[in-house]
Amino acid sequence: MAMGVAATSGRDLPIPHFGRDYAPRIVLENNAAVDLPQIEGDEGDDRPLVVIDPGHGGHDPGASGVGVVEKDLVLDLAKALRDALLEQGDVRVALTRSDDRYLLHAERFEIARRLGADLFVSIHADSAGEASEVEGASIYTLSSQASSEAAARFAERENRSDRINGQDVAGQSDVVNTILVELSQRRTQAESRQFADLIQREAEGAIRFHPQPRRSAALKVLRAPDVPSVLFESGFITNQEEAARLASPAGRKRFADTLARAIRIYFVRQRDDLLGEETDEANESTADDAPTETTSDAGPEAADEAPAA
Ligand SMILES: [Zn+2]
């Protein structure tokens, strides 16, 4: 494949090159104790960075099915996605965990923020308990209520650090700070939904979806105010056939290729939005096939304390 050109859906798309400053960053105090993972991919900060988060790990196995445990399954899926992205080039990748270790939800998105990630994808597999016939993938974004609650908390923290979106806001009122954070967060949520739309579009015919494929919930792992974030439930581990499919090399490859394609198109769109360009490939509207979202404030991964989903 020629440098500077990516094969996407059988068409050639220009590869995005842009600086990290294409979106405002909220500067927070550097107080997380977690080790930062290595960034893989081409050298240079102008390549967009995806942080892939395999759910669960360590003492938290997640859901379990016949012969398959979620924490292992999603780690394999995450590595396959990383490899697919690195093979295509032009995107940098980091995994929140590349082995069997436990991370808090907040540590996961804090890794993405501190690395200056442009996109965060948390990968999980679902459980339907005894209902072993239930199957299909689904895509979660943060519910708007949870989003504004999180914005208020981040605004509070901002008052201590005196900087927001790179600007000195010492002496600004709490109201102004809250508005700035909310504006950034609203944009982040819109971009998260755009990315979710792209996954759904690109996965058509390749990945089987649940009848309610799009959901929003108060997921702690999605609460970065300035990194577009999606949680992908790759399928039901409690469905024996689906679990076997996801654990097979062919199933992993289908998952990885599909998400890599969606990620790539997302970055092309971001670049074009930034430049104000109109490219037919990148700006195809998905508004006419906008999916119906299910909102639940008690999603499967909602609580830090109940990571078993
Ligand atoms: Zn999970």
| pLDDT score, position 168 | 54
- Give me the domains of the chain, ranges plus CATH numbers: 11-144+188-296 (3.40.630.40)
| pLDDT score, position 35 | 82
How far does the centroid of ligand 1 lie from the alpha carbon of residue 261, in Å? Answer: 23
How far does the centroid of ligand 1 lie from the alpha carbon of residue 62, in Å? Answer: 5
How far does the centroid of ligand 1 lie from the alpha carbon of residue 71, in Å? Answer: 8
| pLDDT score, position 309 | 41
SS3 readout for 230-276:
EEEEEEECCCHHHHHHHHCHHHHHHHHHHHHHHHHHHHHHHHHHHHC
Length of the chain: 309
| pLDDT score, position 273 | 80
| pLDDT score, position 46 | 82
| pTM of the complete model beyond 0.85 | no
| pLDDT score, position 38 | 93
Which residues surround the ion ligand 1 when the cut-off is CB under 5 Å?
Answer: 55, 62, 124, 309
How far does the centroid of ligand 1 lie from the alpha carbon of residue 72, in Å? Answer: 11
CA–CA distance, 262 with 278 (Å, rounded to integer)? 18
| pLDDT score, position 306 | 37
| pLDDT score, position 28 | 47
How far does the centroid of ligand 1 lie from the alpha carbon of residue 125, in Å? Answer: 5
Q: Report in angstroms the alpha-carbon separations of 15 from 18, 43, 88.
A: 10, 15, 10
How far does the centroid of ligand 1 lie from the alpha carbon of residue 223, in Å? Answer: 16
How far does the centroid of ligand 1 lie from the alpha carbon of residue 302, in Å? Answer: 10
How far does the centroid of ligand 1 lie from the alpha carbon of residue 171, in Å? Answer: 42
How many CB atoms are closer than 10 A to CB 71? 24
CA–CA distance, 50 with 47 (Å, rounded to integer)? 10
How far does the centroid of ligand 1 lie from the alpha carbon of residue 301, in Å? Answer: 6
Which of 203, 157, 198 has the alpha carbon at shortest distance from 180? 157
How far does the centroid of ligand 1 lie from the alpha carbon of residue 70, in Å? Answer: 7
CA–CA distance, 207 with 258 (Å, rounded to integer)? 8
How far does the centroid of ligand 1 lie from the alpha carbon of residue 267, in Å? Answer: 26
Residue 72, Ramachandran bin (φ over 0: left; ψ between -120 and 50: alpha; else beta): alpha
How far does the centroid of ligand 1 lie from the alpha carbon of residue 234, in Å? Answer: 10
DSSP secondary structure code for residue 281 in this structure: T
| pLDDT score, position 288 | 42
CA–CA distance, 289 with 36 (Å, rounded to integer)? 38
Cβ distance 167 to 194 under 8 Å?
no
DSSP codes, 130-147? T-TT---EEEEEE-HHHH
Q: What is the mean pLDDT of each run of 10 residues along the chain (309 residues)?
A: 36 38 44 77 83 96 90 98 93 96 93 95 92 92 79 60 50 71 87 96 93 89 91 94 95 96 94 67 45 47 40
How far does the centroid of ligand 1 lie from the alpha carbon of residue 218, in Å? Answer: 14
How far does the centroid of ligand 1 lie from the alpha carbon of residue 250, in Å? Answer: 22
Crossing angle of the two packed helices 240-247 and 249-275, in degrees rounded to 10? 70
